[in-house]
């Protein structure tokens, strides 16, 4: 399931302490238990995961850097040595949901991660505002 920010009505995006821009991504029930969805924000695709077995939420880039597939939101989440991870559905490269590093000893294949928070049953994804007009 892919969700776009235009398909759901949200509260307004807010700036919080001028450091993190919190995008209201979706209602928590829009994300399958122990699964993910793709959230589109401007030109970005973000993979948002509800790791419900652990009661945790994560967000990463949706693009798998291996063969440049927009696929990670459809990946399989699990753990390795108690570290949450997602496996790409194409060739099963795995990425830490904590810091985005590729767990297959491929340092050129790391991914971006984003902070996530829940407020009033809405899920928010955080982007760093570098104060130069760029959201990272």
The answer to whether the CB of 77 falls within 8 A of the CB of 49 is: yes
Of the pair 22, 61, the CB lying nearest ligand FES is at: 61
- As measured in angstroms, the least distance from the Cβ of 91 to ligand FES is 3
- Residue 18 Cβ vs ligand FES, minimum distance, rounded to whole Å: 35
Question: Is the Cβ of residue 68 or residue 132 nearer to ligand FES in the bound state?
Answer: 68
Task: Report the distance separating Cα 61 and Cα 100, nearest Å.
Answer: 9
- Nearest partner of 55 among 116, 109, 13, 113, judged by Cα: 116
Give the chain's length.
136
- Residue 30: alpha-carbon gap to chain centroid: 14
Q: Which residues bind ligand FES (CB under 6 A)?
A: 64, 66-67, 69, 71, 88, 90-91, 93
The residue among 41 and 90 lying less far from ligand FES, judged by its C-beta, is: 90
CB of 57 to ligand FES, least distance (A): 22
Q: Which residue is associated with the tokens 């209602």?
A: 27
Taking the complex as a whole, the smallest distance from the CB of residue 71 to ligand FES amounts, in Å, to 6
């Amino acid at each position: 399931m892919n969700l776009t920010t235009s398909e759901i009505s949200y509260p307004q995006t807010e700036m919080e302490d001028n450091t993190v821009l919190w995008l209201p991504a979706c209602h928590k029930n829009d994300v399958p238990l122990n699964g993910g969805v793709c959230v589109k924000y401007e030109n970005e695709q973000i993979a948002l995961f509800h790791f419900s077995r652990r009661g945790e939420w994560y967000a990463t880039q949706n693009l798998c850097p291996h063969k440049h597939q927009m696929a990670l939101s459809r990946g399989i989440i699990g753990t390795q040595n108690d570290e949450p991870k997602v496996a790409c559905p194409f060739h099963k490269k795995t990425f830490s949901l904590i810091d985005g590093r590729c767990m297959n000893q491929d340092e050129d294949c790391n991914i971006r991660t984003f902070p996530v928070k829940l407020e009033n049953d809405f899920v928010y994804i955080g982007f760093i505002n570098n104060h130069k007009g760029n959201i990272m």
